[in-house]
Amino acid sequence: MHVLLVEDDPELSEGIVSFLRGQGDTVVHETDGMRADQLLQTGTFDFALVDVGLPGLGGYEVVRRIRSRQQIVPVMLITARDALDDRIYGLDLGADDYLTKPFQLAELTARMRAVLRRGRRSMARSLVFGPLMLDLEGRLATLEGQALSLSTREWTLLEALAGAEGRTVPKEQLQADASGNAVEVYISRLRPRLEQGGLLIRTVRGFGYRLELASGG
């Protein structure tokens, strides 16, 4: 994988570059946002890791320019800012994920893989989990062949849960679409309708939620 790392912290950059290259990735490292934006205009990258606090051109602006050019390269923002509003702002600009410092390099690469999996799914026409089918183009949901009426936020939460393919989705990831206790509200609305079709939304305390087949226990 051809990765662009845009980070001006020498110690962190060295660690990320070494770790990714050790996995067989090709890494281009840049410390200035403006030069990184120029590289993105002329080069082809499979993934971009972008620090928010960059000299020359901030990470948020780098992301905004990427999406304004309609480039589909996956982007993960890296930052010391951990406020929910900061995360939502970055995601709304078009970032695919948001990782707060300090972090373990194993988590970084795991989240990169998750972003790439979501990207592959977005190219598909539909998403199926047991009796649930989501038509991603028409944004139509059916459960056991019956239409399932969903609000925009219910759709977004259900798509994230079904797309995780049985893995737990962190609550903070879901909060990008429904902040605070709103996540619990929408989950509580979805649960009874899904249970009728043999699906459960299980709460993983302290972490998030997981979609399961009822027969899976």
Distance of alpha carbon 112 from alpha carbon 99, whole angstroms: 10
Q: Are 17 and 29 in contact (CB under 8 A)?
A: yes
Distance of alpha carbon 66 from alpha carbon 70, whole angstroms: 7
Task: Report DSSP state, residue 44.
Answer: -
Q: Which CATH class is domain 2-122?
A: alpha beta
- CA 172 → CA 92, 108, 180, 209, distances in Å? 15, 16, 9, 11
For 126-149, write each residue's pLDDT tens digit. 788 899 998 877 788 999 889 998
Q: Residue 128: exposed, middle, or buried by beta-carbon count in 10 A (0-12, 13-18, 19+)?
A: exposed
| Same topology between domain 2-122 and domain 126-216 | no
For 163-208, write each residue's pLDDT tens digit. 888 888 888 777 755 545 688 888 999 999 999 999 999 999 888 8
The secondary structure of 67-120 as a DSSP string is HHTT----EEEEES---HHHHHHHHHHT-SEEEESS--HHHHHHHHHHHHHHHH
- CA-wise closest residue to 5 among 94, 92, 124, 99: 99
- CA 215 → CA 75, 98, 195, 200, 212, distances in Å? 37, 34, 11, 9, 8
126-216 is classed CATH 3.30.1490.190? no
For 23-82, write each residue's pLDDT tens digit. 888 999 999 999 999 999 887 888 999 999 998 899 999 999 998 887 878 999 998 877
For residue 123, what are the contacts with CB-CB under 8 A and spacing of at least 6?
none
pTM of the model: 0.57
Read off the tokens for 139: 């944004």
> Can you tell me which residue has the tokens 């993934």?
47
Query: Mind spelling out the 3-state secondary structure of 185-210?
Result: HHHHHHHHHHHCCCEEEEEECCCEEE
**pLDDT confidence of residue 181:** 61
For 1-31, write each residue's pLDDT tens digit. 899 999 999 999 999 999 999 988 899 999 9
What residue ranges do the domains of the chain occupy?
A: 2-122, 126-216
Length of the chain: 217
